[in-house]
């Protein structure tokens, strides 16, 4: 099963431009409790390097592009996110890293929970141990 789960948002275009629609309870598989975005990113640095115990996210490149590495402890996949009308779902217990940001990248994330440091797994070896423990309690 692929770790890359995309959500295509409805769009409406006319000569004035394009409108993309994202509605909570319909397009997003969780209640949105937090939205954040990053921009002005260094094209040669990486971000992420963590997983979450419970938090789920949808990442959207509103402008530009970036790559995501998704890793569930067994499978790793890389995906280039480059469309403002498509979201990448990042489920709980998926290690993720973002890299290769275009100079104009604006990355917005909708999250299922408010910020809670205790929900983060920031050490990759600990992440792998948690995955192993969940598989063999």
Enzyme catalytic residues = 50
Query: Alpha-carbon distance 16 to 24, whole Å?
Result: 26
Three-state DSSP at 135 gives helix
Classify residue 117 by its DSSP letter: G
Classify residue 92 by its DSSP letter: T
Three-state DSSP at 129 gives helix
């Amino acid at each position: 099963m692929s770790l890359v789960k995309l959500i295509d948002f409805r769009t409406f275009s006319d000569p004035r431009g394009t409108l993309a629609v994202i509605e909570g309870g319909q397009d997003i598989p969780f209640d949105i409790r937090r939205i954040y975005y990053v921009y002005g990113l260094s094209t040669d640095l990486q971000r992420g390097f963590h997983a979450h115990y419970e938090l789920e996210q949808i990442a959207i490149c509103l402008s530009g592009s970036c790559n995501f590495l998704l890793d569930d402890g067994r499978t790793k996949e890389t995906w280039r996110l480059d469309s403002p009308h498509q979201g990448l779902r990042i489920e709980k217990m998926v290690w993720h890293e973002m890299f290769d940001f275009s100079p104009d990248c604006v990355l917005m994330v909708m999250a299922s929970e408010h910020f809670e440091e205790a929900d983060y797994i920031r050490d990759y070896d600990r992440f792998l141990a948690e995955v192993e423990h969940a598989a063999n309690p």
